[in-house]
Amino acid sequence: MRWIAVLVSLSLWLHAAAAEPPAPSAPGLPDGTGGLAAMLKLLEGQKPFTAKMDLRLLGVGDQEVMVSQMAFAYRDGMARLDVDVAKMQSEKLTPQVIAAMRTLKLDQSIACLLPKQNTLRTIYPGLRAYCDMPMPPRDAAVFNAKLKIAITPDGTEKILGLACQRQRVTLTPEKGEPIKLRVWRAEALDALPVQYEMPEGRFKARLLLSNLQWTPPELSDFAPPNGHRKFPSLQALLKEAKSQVPAPKK
Three-state SS string over 207-239 comes to: EEEEEEECCCCCHHHHCCCCCCEECCCHHHHHH
Name the domain count of the chain.
Answer: 1
3-class secondary structure, 39: helix
On whether residue 248 sits in a domain, the answer given is no
Domain that holds residue 82: 3-243
Contact (Cβ atoms closer than 8 angstroms) between residue 181 and residue 196: yes
On whether residue 194 sits in a domain, the answer given is yes
For the domain that residue 118 is a member of, what is the CATH number? 2.50.20.10
- Which of 30-44, 94-108, 117-131, 232-246 has the weakest average pLDDT? 30-44
Task: Quote the CA–CA distance of 60 and 122 in Å, as a whole number.
Answer: 31
Provide the pLDDT for residue 97: 80
Report whether pLDDT(231) > 60: yes
- Which of 3-12, 28-37, 38-47, 116-125 has the weakest average pLDDT? 3-12
Report whether pLDDT(34) > 80: no
On whether residue 24 sits in a domain, the answer given is yes
Please state, for a pLDDT cut of 90, what percent of the chain lies above it: 44
On whether residue 249 sits in a domain, the answer given is no
pLDDT-derived band of residue 1, with 50, 70 and 90 as boundaries?
very low
Supply the DSSP string of 61-97, one letter for each residue. GG-EEEEEEEEEEEETTEEEEEEEEEEEEETT--HHH
On whether residue 152 sits in a domain, the answer given is yes
